Amino acid sequence: MASAAPERDGSDAAALRTSLQSPRPRHYDSDVTRYFVSSLLPLALATSVAFGQDAPVAAAPDATAYQGVTPESGSPPAEARVRRAHSRLVTWPGFEAMPNGGSRFFLQLSQTVQFQTRATDGGFEVTLQNTRTHLRNTTRPLETRFFDTPVTRARVERRGRHDLVFAFDLRAQATPRVYTQPGPGGYTFLFVEFPAGHWLPAELQPAAPQAPAAAQPRGPVAQQTDSERPPDLGQSEN
């Protein structure tokens, strides 16, 4: 049989109400402090150390960084990691103004290809048999209308399922020399060389230097008289 709870007299009830109404001590403050000390303080210290360290310095541009392809250099194209053993690829197109006044267009190829040439109405074409391109950049046109060359534009185009065409737009009739040559790194170059000449139209010719103006005399200039002028004009009356 459960025992009954002891009865509280009036003084005990008053003490209970007083204890409930009085502010209770904040025992959780020590718990919060221990939490910050054990968890957040190490994180704050690590963050302050990280911010206190020197910021990483950007690396200086590499002098040997990729600078493009020329027939004389051994630089491979930007994305030359291709399976050259199984693919005939155009890896880079280019243009050069020659020291003798001529102009030379070239294609860098992953290996030797067979080609055919033909003149078209206002142009010239070199067909590369069983050749393709794996980069979109190689099909962008070479704009050369401001150079002293008969070619205003050259571009690589797909022709059929298996061939590529190196097409030239001409502003004047010209017959180029087309040949291939081994290049550095196991690549092959196809060259299309146009002869020197005065190919630029008049509106694109560089302006001729103007002759200096004639020197003006520095001495006194003789006063000119008007024979029609009345003799008394400009004279004050006496």
What pLDDT digit, counting tens, does each position of 178-199 carry? 999 999 888 999 999 999 999 9
Cα–Cα distance between 127 and 107 in angstroms, integer?
Answer: 12
pLDDT of residue 197: 94
pLDDT of residue 93: 94
Band of pLDDT at residue 134, cut at 50, 70 and 90: confident
Average pLDDT, the chain: 75
Which stretch of 9-13, 14-18, 50-54, 96-100 has the lowest confidence by average pLDDT? 50-54
pLDDT of residue 36: 46
pLDDT of residue 23: 54
Q: Write out pLDDT tens, residues 59-118.
A: 444 544 445 677 776 566 655 555 555 679 999 999 999 999 999 999 999 999 999 999
- 176 contact partners, CB below 8 Å, separation of at least 6: 124, 168, 192, 193, 194, 195
- Provide the token pair at 193: 């060389």
Backbone phi, psi, residue 204, to 5°? -105, 0
Instruction: Kindly list the structural domains of the chain, giving each domain's residue range(s) and its CATH number in brackets, ordered by start.
Output: 90-198 (2.60.40.3470)
Q: Write out pLDDT tens, residues 26-66.
A: 544 555 555 544 555 555 545 443 444 444 444 444 544 44
For residue 149, is pLDDT > 90? yes
Band of pLDDT at residue 156, cut at 50, 70 and 90: very high
Band of pLDDT at residue 168, cut at 50, 70 and 90: very high
Distance from chain centroid for Cα 120: 34
More confident residue, 207 or 130: 130
